[in-house]
Amino acid sequence: MSAGNEPMRRKAAEILDRLEKEHPDARIYLDYDSPLQLLVATILAAQCTDERVNQITPALFERYPTAGDLAQADPEELQEMVRPTGFYRQKSARVQEVCRIIADEHNGEVPDEMDTLTRMPGVGRKTAAVVLGQAFGRPAIAVDTHVKRVSTRLGLAEGKNPDKIEARLAELFPESRWTRATELLTSHGRLICTSRNPDCEHCPVSDLCDYYQESIAR
């Protein structure tokens, strides 16, 4: 990172330090017991709440415990099981495509490399980063709607392109904190820096926030 970015790097570190104190229990909100379960749950969570996904995955994974089981599932039965998550036809087809690749090409085990994961149909960098960071303990920044909103409001990143936001945050945060940054920014977005009516009054980083200084504090 260039020396010119050092002030932003210090700001980013201060933000994470404060958010750590505010959200010590920050985590992702999908329930899972294995990399496969997390990958499938993340696919199902597209345009759906984590809470709703968590309601259907226990029965789903009990019925289909392995990638091979999911790949060979009756499509109509699988669709009915994932129906509550919305876009159930597309999601069930995507889950089966991905699980077929995992079963046939990776001995039933979810690969732990970004490039390999993102070559799978419908697995973007955000989904892959969630799996790598949470299931495999690899440093990874997952830019979901919360991370995107919070990081742009704070002035750490700009624009709407998730890949560019990810690259910018990767410049500002040390690699050792990438996964934790995802958890902290996500929790802050869910609990305080909400899409509508953010609770700026109780935000621990409002003095470091471009959105607050430009829109609220004036």
Give dist(CA 135, CA 30) in Å, integer.
12
Identify the active-site residue in 144, 160, 199, 210: 144
* 11 in catalytic set: no
Identify the active-site residue in 25, 33, 115, 126: 126
* 144 in catalytic set: yes
In the 8-state DSSP scheme, what is residue 165? H
According to DSSP H, which parts of the chain are helical? 6-22, 35-44, 50-63, 67-71, 75-82, 88-105, 114-118, 125-130, 145-154, 162-172, 178-191, 210-211
- What are the residue numbers of the active site? 126, 144
